[in-house]
Amino acid sequence: MKKLSAMVAVLSLALIVSTPAQARKSRNEVINFGSYTCQAFLEEAAQGSEEDVGIVLMWLDGYLSGISGDTVFNMKEFGEFSERLAEYCSRHGNVRLLDAAERKGIE
């Protein structure tokens, strides 16, 4: 239990320290997922950092978990979801990213 508490404290501190720096270097500090398209996501992913892409993908996974009620995070499934989403988006650029995520994430 002490290890878990220490890990949470370290991760929280890292998040507090890194978030302002990430926000400053990010080109797009606000994403309106209601209108954010696959094409926009792929263009920003190509120009952005892995961390920025990871944050968007984690947000999408959390959003889908809220819809489905799934409370389990599986790294392998997350990776497979990310690949399916990228492949789908490369063929359907005008589709909203949320719609694409629902199609490829909730099967």
Instruction: Indicate the pLDDT class of residue 7, thresholds 50, 70 and 90.
Output: very low
Nearest to 67 by CA among 36, 103, 94, 39: 103
Nearest to 100 by CA among 30, 23, 37: 37
pLDDT of residue 13: 46
Would you tell me which CATH number, out of the four given (2.30.30, 1.10.890, 1.20.1260, 3.30.300), belongs to the domain 29-105? Answer: 1.10.890
Counting residues of the chain whose pLDDT is more than 70, the rounded percentage is: 72
CB atoms within 10 A of CB 60: 23
Other beta carbons within 10 angstroms of residue 105's beta carbon come to: 22
Amino acid at 80: E
pLDDT (tens digit per residue) in 11-59: 544 555 444 445 445 555 889 999 999 999 999 999 988 999 999 999 9
pLDDT of residue 48: 87
Q: Higher pLDDT residue, 86 or 18?
A: 86
